[in-house]
Amino acid sequence: MSLSRAVCATELGWCRAVPSGTGITVLALLFSKPPDVPFLQNALRNLQSSHPILNSKLRFDPSSNSFSYVTPQSPHLQIRPFDSQSTAQILRSPDTVPPLQLILEHELNINSWQNPDPSSDTDLFFASLYTLEGGMSVLALRLHTSACDRAAAGTLLSELVALMEEKHRIQGEAGKEMKLSLGIEDCIPSGQGNKPFWSRGVDMLGHSLNSFRLANLSFKDTSSPRLSRVVRLKMSEEDTGKILSRCNSNKIKLSAALAAAGLIACHASKRFTDEQWEKYAVVTLLDSRSALDPVLSSQHVGFYHTAIMNTHDIKGGEDLWELANRVHSSFMDSKSKNKHFTDMADLNFLMCKAIENPSLTPASSLRTSLVSVFEDPIFDPPNKLKEAMGFEDFIGCASVHGVGPSIAVFDTIRRGALDCAFVYPFPLFSREQMNDFIDRINRILLKGSK
């Protein structure tokens, strides 16, 4: 007997966003040794058993224009293999980009949910194995963001690594989670999501009017079809330690420093005369599991992130830490007023309206903010897989070429070193433009850490 439930309002927002290109989550793992495919498939099916939403299919009902999750009893994931010749075709690129990153970009732009078919349910979880030269390979896990936010993706990676480290234990493991989890709206603590009708109307009007005043990076190509591409920034452990130390001494989060550096870099890229102001928007995403009722653990897979949008006036010449303090203070003030819950319906509504009416955004770009950051980075502990299975590297992020920010920051601290994936819509912005933008951010952070 299949389990099923209707998607909640936030999940519905993602069901609207993903077909246009935003909300395809990908984890790409690089191995230096050929993995055991039957073992990997069994491990991934164990994850599906433990987290039924990963085993679910998305069902579209055209009569009500609604979606629901339908979950069969048995896991059914099949790893799709790509031989070296097929992989080589995917890796053909005029840009000098590492294979792991090219495969990640390729997966971010495979949209299995682009045209909802009422006659056929669609999987929420896909896996592919790409064969590289020299015996190396990349395992790519692609998920619908409504079923798996960034915290959940981190949990999946940790659980998969644990299963691979303890290979002999996974045979026949029973699932730990026996039913489909609730949507986030069903878990908001009583009273915390309430907003008076008139206040909601005023806020909606404010968001709409503000959107026309928001500045952005200079657009390169607003008419061509869009893809998501990635720029990766890796810092040394020493430089990361200095930046985190300055964050701690200023009592702010790393996300505020990353956002502030992005604001300064964007304004500087335009080479304005002194004192020329622009208004930029920053979206900060929070993992709200610990604030829900009932409280959910990080092992609870689904979409339980909320968002807070703040705007900042930038004139050029700002000090990194002064601006980072402003970014942090405005975010924490909004969070203390529960705006991540009270504004949830507003932001979901505006996102769907932007999808339906791109002309409501500057140059019909569908850009809703300059930058999005996560409140806290993911800390990736060392593991034993390097020796056992040749686990060399991984990148995890989500697509943004539909509605969303100009650049989305996915930050991880690995063995004390900062590793960021910056995802952006191409060719709305060029790779050369984004490389220069990220270089500016890097220089601003390094200069500010001294």
Whether residue 108 is predicted with pLDDT greater than 90 in this model: the reply is yes
Considering only 9-13, 135-139, 381-385, 429-433, which range has the smallest mean pLDDT? 381-385
Top-confidence residue, 151 or 211: 151
What b/e string do you get for 107-125 counting C-beta neighbours within 10 Å, with b at 16 or more? bbbebebeebeeeebbbbb
CATH 2.60.40.10 fits 3-184, yes or no: no
With the CA atoms of 3, 9, 15 and 21 taken in that order, what torsion angle do they form, in degrees rounded to the nearest 10? -150
Percent of the chain with pLDDT over 90: 69
Q: What's the Cα-to-Cα distance from 442 to each of 239, 253, 361, 435, rounded to whole Å?
A: 10, 17, 29, 10
What residue ranges do the domains of the chain occupy? Answer: 3-184, 185-380+399-449
Report pLDDT for 196.
61
Report pLDDT for 307.
96
* pTM, to two decimals: 0.94
Whether residue 175 is predicted with pLDDT greater than 60 in this model: the reply is no
CATH superfamily ID and name for 185-380+399-449: Nonribosomal peptide synthetase, condensation domain (3.30.559.30)
Nearest CA among 215, 229, 230, 205 for reference residue 363: 215
pLDDT mean over 55-77: 92
Query: pLDDT tens digits, residue range 125-171?
Result: 999 999 998 889 999 999 999 999 999 999 999 899 888 877 644 44
Report pLDDT for 173.
42
320, containing H or E segment: helix 320-336
Report pLDDT for 195.
66
Whether residue 205 is predicted with pLDDT greater than 60 in this model: the reply is no
Report pLDDT for 165.
77
Instruction: Give the whole-angstrom CA distance, residue 178 versus residue 180.
Output: 7
Considering only 113-117, 226-230, 408-412, which range has the smallest mean pLDDT? 113-117
Report pLDDT for 171.
43
Radius of gyration of the chain (CA): 21
Instruction: Give the whole-angstrom CA distance, residue 344 versus residue 163.
Output: 36
pLDDT mean over 435-439: 97
DSSP lists the bridge partners of residue 67 as 60
Instruction: Give the whole-angstrom CA distance, residue 335 versus residue 426.
Output: 32
Nearest CA among 301, 310, 309, 305 for reference residue 292: 305
Considering only 21-35, 121-135, 370-384, which range has the smallest mean pLDDT? 370-384
Whether residue 172 is predicted with pLDDT greater than 50 in this model: the reply is no
Whether residue 431 is predicted with pLDDT greater than 50 in this model: the reply is yes
User: Residue 200 — very low, low, confident or very high, per pLDDT cuts 50/70/90?
Assistant: low
Helix, strand, coil percentages, rounded to 5, for the chain: 40, 25, 30
Q: What's the Cα-to-Cα distance from 3 to each of 71, 140, 145, 160, 282, rounded to whole Å?
A: 5, 27, 20, 24, 38
Instruction: Give the whole-angstrom CA distance, residue 413 versus residue 340.
Output: 25
Report pLDDT for 204.
56
pLDDT mean over 225-246: 97
Q: Is 402 in contact with 13 (CB distance < 8 Å)? A: no
pLDDT mean over 50-73: 92
Considering only 117-131, 326-340, 387-401, 436-450, which range has the smallest mean pLDDT? 387-401
Whether residue 174 is predicted with pLDDT greater than 50 in this model: the reply is no
Mean pLDDT, the chain, rounded, equals 90
pLDDT mean over 174-188: 74
Nearest CA among 152, 192, 198 for reference residue 335: 192
